Amino acid sequence: MKCETATQAVLVSVPISVVEAILTLRSALDDDVASALGKSLAGARTVNTAQLDPPPTSVAVHERGKYAAEFLGVGFSVDTLAALFGRVVDMMADVAPENLVSLAGIRTRGRRLISLEPRGIHPYSPHLPVQLTASGWWISKNISKDQLRSALRTVCEISGLTFGKDLRFPFR
């Protein structure tokens, strides 16, 4: 993490488990809560890390959602397949946004996987529903399990990840 202001620069090493926990919290909190937490932590002093318990090595999957996945060790669950793909896109935006630009250039027979424009998802069927992710990318809301699995494999190929190891779906 690098924090730069006019008078100081700080470089901090953070264990991957902490980053995973932060990504999980960030995706779970709405903007108002995340903003309030950010403001409350803005003036915080440094913490003696020897007094802190180590973070868990993996984050538990919430049992609320119908569909579960794990991305780079961070488990999550959602109610729809489109929401699951949207969550993966948002997490990818946090860790490797340049891969999303490459993903936006890929197109299946009838759709693009992601687009910065809502009309870019279903160019031949503009009546089909689309959804905006938290990271600003549009995705299709009309997606089957097979299409999702194929899209997740494509995400892995572009990112140099392994489907079934770095990105797991379905995840139990």
Reported as a single tens digit per residue, the pLDDT across 12-69 is 666 766 676 676 666 666 666 656 656 655 554 444 434 434 434 444 444 578 999 9
Q: What's the half-sphere exposure (Cβ side, CA atoms, 13 Å) at 115?
A: 17
* CATH number of the domain that residue 118 is part of: 1.20.1380.10
What's the predicted TM-score (pTM) here? 0.64
Task: Confirm whether 11 is domain-assigned.
Answer: no
Helix (H) or strand (E) holding 130: strand 130-132
Query: Residues 73, 26: one domain?
Result: no
Q: Is the Cβ–Cβ distance between 122 and 114 less than 8 Å?
A: no
What is the rounded CA–CA span in Å between residue 115 and residue 118?
Answer: 7
Query: Residues 85, 159: one domain?
Result: yes
What is the rounded CA–CA span in Å between residue 32 and residue 35?
Answer: 5
pLDDT score of 132 more than 90: yes
How many other C-beta atoms are found inside a 10 Å radius of the C-beta of residue 53? 5
Range of the domain at 81: 67-168
What is the rounded CA–CA span in Å between residue 59 and residue 19?
Answer: 11
Task: Confirm whether 52 is domain-assigned.
Answer: no
Task: Confirm whether 158 is domain-assigned.
Answer: yes
Q: Is the Cβ–Cβ distance between 102 and 158 less than 8 Å?
A: yes
pLDDT at 63: 53
What is the rounded CA–CA span in Å between residue 108 and residue 123?
Answer: 11
Query: Residues 135, 85: one domain?
Result: yes
Count up the domains in the chain and report the number.
Answer: 2
Task: Confirm whether 87 is domain-assigned.
Answer: yes
Task: Confirm whether 153 is domain-assigned.
Answer: yes
Task: Confirm whether 9 is domain-assigned.
Answer: no
Query: Residues 88, 147: one domain?
Result: yes
Residue 111: closest CA among 152, 81, 142: 142
Query: Residues 76, 145: one domain?
Result: yes
Task: Confirm whether 5 is domain-assigned.
Answer: no
Task: Confirm whether 3 is domain-assigned.
Answer: no
Mean pLDDT, all residues of the chain: 80
**DSSP 8-class letter at 107:** B
pLDDT at 38: 62
